[in-house]
Amino acid sequence: MATIYLVACASKKRPEPAPAQILYDSSLFNKSAELARLRGDRWYILSAKHGLLSPSQVMEPYDETLNEMAKSERLRWAEGVLTHLLTVTKYQDTVVFLAGKRYREFIAPELRTRGYSVKVPLEGMRIGEQLSWLNKAIARAQPEV
**What tens digit of pLDDT does each residue of 10-40 get?**
999 999 999 999 999 999 999 999 999 999 9
Mean per-residue pLDDT for 37-64?
A: 95
Binned at pLDDT 50, 70 and 90, residue 145 comes out as low
pTM, entire model: 0.94
* Rounded (10°) CA dihedral 101, 69, 108, 26: -50
Q: Give pLDDT, residue 130.
A: 97
Higher pLDDT among residues 119 and 91, named by residue: 119
**Domains, the chain, ordered by start:** 3-141 (3.40.50)
Q: Give pLDDT, residue 30.
A: 97
Q: Give pLDDT, residue 134.
A: 97
**What tens digit of pLDDT does each residue of 118-144 get?**
999 999 999 999 999 999 999 998 776
Q: Give pLDDT, residue 144.
A: 62
Higher pLDDT among residues 142 and 76, named by residue: 76
Distance CA(24)–CA(63), nearest Å, equals 11
Q: Give pLDDT, residue 142.
A: 75
Cα R_g (the chain), whole angstroms: 15
- CA angle (138 as vertex; 25, 21 as ends), nearest 5: 30
